[in-house]
Structure 1
């Protein structure tokens, strides 16, 4: 990766809170003639809407994507749309997906009325055997004008909590909701974007719906770090959900952990092998310190360096590597 001494710092497009001066500093700079611009992006489409993806990827790998078009470019990079599709075909698919997301969200709302309410669960609302926990202090209000009904207050905000017996999958899903809330409140809080509580609620809703439809993986800590940039770049909640869902198709294996292994174990082994060849002294030093299993790199791989780099730099890393489906996935 080559850094430039001139140009606009990547993080300048993502306003940070004034009190949050600490943290990684942006090194990548958006540079004219290197970064994929809106003009070049739009010129890569045929009159019908087919995209010349090869020319686009070549530009992206040299200089990343300009923030003004990042959302629409990422939809292609993660596989939401086929580059050979037309404008009309993509619009039809987009509308179909928005309807499907709305249906899934309605199902989740029936299971727990916090979904879509503008409120975020930050503590368990049921026990492990499915019994409701009545505690009105478990909510982070994203909508201060919302007044919970007496039934919501009695059931912890969920109609289904009133039932004595809940399906095992429903219980497991509801038990993850507060963990999603806790993680959402810690994700990218240095950014002004998340000072708006409706944006926090949007992130929580998407993760809650995804945890319901992907019952094999559900929700795991770190997914909020992957979803957050997509929320910022795509205004429509359904579009952001589908972009995240496509990304998770490539990365969900990283979050499948057991008592004996972690999802990124193969990547850790590859990192160890590469380091042993390229820098045997460093590898030996890590072995001496007890870090030869390279578990210290688990977070780096699971959230794709989101916490090691600045916000703008991590986005550039993702897109310049043509997303984790290619070189980064092979690390």
Structure 2
């Protein structure tokens, strides 16, 4: 629904009345700048081919109107090829949305839809449901359900903490994979027929379920949207399924912050899952942590190199304070500034970043062609679409800023831009690493997304120019 130029994002992402300390968004819908419904629809040919050039430019200038944000994000994240037709996208969409029909038909034994459709999300969700039936039940767990040895937990606190009357999931015979019996007088329970889980992959996955639940109830809790149980359980389901399919990374704290906007913007659960999965393809490296390194270590190292080239004095000052590893920027890079911006502004920032970084080869990278001829055709399509790249990506291509791992993400330059803006305060007031953290924490809710992106672009140009010379 169009709410007119100047409408704040809060009118679309309603905050609970009692939450009075939530940062206000700076994003405003601006006629002539914001990508409107009319402009978006006008970018499609009658068959459905999308000329993404003009939308990218419009997004960079003024973001996306909230009423179409979800469907535009699907293109920005590479869920759909702009060169596909309406019919082709609808076929893909329906394959992704059939999880409910799949479960229903299999119960009825009418057909075996797995042989009829490529229903990836349905298969994964069904696997998870069979291992732990709380998945897809409309509920979720917030307490541990298994030990590290694979033994089902029989602690009464599991039952009490996750009782349905409290709006959360309960491990019962119907919906949580264990047959619990409850004595009304003592509130104790015993596992009946539960066997030790021997598969290490299943054990590892089940160990994460309660952590996902704990994070779900803390994610964007100021929004009215998450007052509904069904929305909380949808977020839990998607994160649980993702943790099952991504065995290298599984689930880590911060993923719920990245997934939450997808749930809000895309009504269908399968659509939200695929949007989140595409985003994780870009960011999953952030969550790969070992005993000796953190997932964003490479980006932090790049941030240090950029600052050293562009502002040696600031870099030296941070090193002197013990911040030469730039770990103070960990959170910004990990969850793409979700904590530094209001909810509406973080969405605005993300879509500007994705529009600037847009690479028409994304779809071909995500969807491997089946044959050599299709690969050749895909390469041709990619070559012809270079002019459709985002402004940031074009600058990288122009300066040859590609290595074996690809160009630096714009998020690194965004952090560099924030440091540049806070340079005076950092140089004058920071006498230790705690001061650096405090100064950067003070920016929460006060950053301007458009200004930050503009600053990042300027720093990128300057850095590439200097790097090319050296």
Which segment is superposed worse, 288-297 or 73-82? 288-297
User: Larger Cα Rg: Structure 1 or Structure 2?
Assistant: 2
Return the offset for 1:202.
0.3
Return the offset for 1:300.
0.6
Change (3 A) 1:160 1:208: farther
User: Are 2:94 and 1:95 equivalent residues in the alignment?
Assistant: yes
d(CA) in 1 for partners of 2:13, 2:164 = 24
Q: Deviations over 1:177-216 (max 9, x none)?
A: 0010011111101111001111000000000001101111
Quote the residue 1:153 is aligned against: 180
User: Are 2:140 and 1:120 equivalent residues in the alignment?
Assistant: yes
d(CA) in 2 for partners of 1:70, 1:59 = 13
Q: Secondary structure at the match of 2:140?
A: strand
Change (3 A) 1:30 1:316: same
Quote the residue 1:3 is aligned against: none
| Counterpart among 95, 98, 111 of residue 131 in structure 2 | 111
Q: Deviations over 1:73-115 (max 9, x none)?
A: 0111101100011111001011112232222111101000111
- 8 Å contact kept, 2:141–2:169: no
Q: Deviations over 1:131-178 (max 9, x none)?
A: 001231242649959984485425999x99812242000000000000
d(CA) in 1 for partners of 2:86, 2:192 = 42
Map 1:48-197 to 2 at 5 A.
48-99=47-98, 100=119, 101-134=121-154, 135-139=158-162, 141=164, 148-149=172-173, 152-154=179-181, 162-197=194-229
| Counterpart among 222, 240, 244 of residue 208 in structure 1 | 240
- 8 Å contact kept, 1:264–1:302: yes
Return the offset for 1:119.
1.6
- 8 Å contact kept, 2:225–2:264: yes
- 8 Å contact kept, 2:213–2:236: yes
- 8 Å contact kept, 1:111–1:160: no
Q: Secondary structure at the match of 2:284?
A: helix
Change (3 A) 1:221 1:140: farther
Which segment is superposed worse, 133-142 or 22-31? 133-142
d(CA) in 2 for partners of 1:119, 1:196 = 11
| Counterpart among 256, 259, 279 of residue 247 in structure 1 | 279
Quote the residue 2:268 is aligned against: 236
- 8 Å contact kept, 2:181–2:192: no
Change (3 A) 1:277 1:9: farther
In structure 1, runs of 5+ residues without a counterpart are 1-5
User: Are 2:322 and 1:290 equivalent residues in the alignment?
Assistant: yes
d(CA) in 1 for partners of 2:55, 2:192 = 48
Number of aligned positions between the proteins: 325
Return the offset for 1:223.
0.5
Q: Deviations over 1:250-275 (max 9, x none)?
A: 11111111111111112111222222
- 8 Å contact kept, 2:56–2:355: no
User: Are 2:301 and 1:272 equivalent residues in the alignment?
Assistant: no
Which segment is superposed worse, 22-31 or 204-213? 22-31
Coordinate RMSD, CA, aligned: 2.6
Q: Deviations over 1:214-252 (max 9, x none)?
A: 111111110000000000000000110111111111111
Return the offset for 1:72.
0.6
User: Are 2:39 and 1:40 equivalent residues in the alignment?
Assistant: yes
d(CA) in 2 for partners of 1:29, 1:193 = 21
In structure 2, runs of 5+ residues without a counterpart are 99-118, 183-187, 359-391, 393-407, 413-470
Which segment is superposed worse, 289-298 or 182-191? 289-298
Quote the residue 2:10 is aligned against: 11
Return the offset for 1:317.
0.7
- 8 Å contact kept, 2:29–2:62: yes
- 8 Å contact kept, 1:119–1:139: no
- 8 Å contact kept, 2:304–2:315: yes
Map 1:315-326 to 2 at 5 A.
315-322=347-354
Output the TM-score relative to the length of structure 2: 0.65
d(CA) in 2 for partners of 1:210, 1:314 = 23
Q: Secondary structure at the match of 1:132?
A: coil
Return the offset for 1:296.
1.2
Q: Secondary structure at the match of 1:130?
A: coil
Higher relative contact order (CA closer than 8 Å, sequence separation 6+)? 1
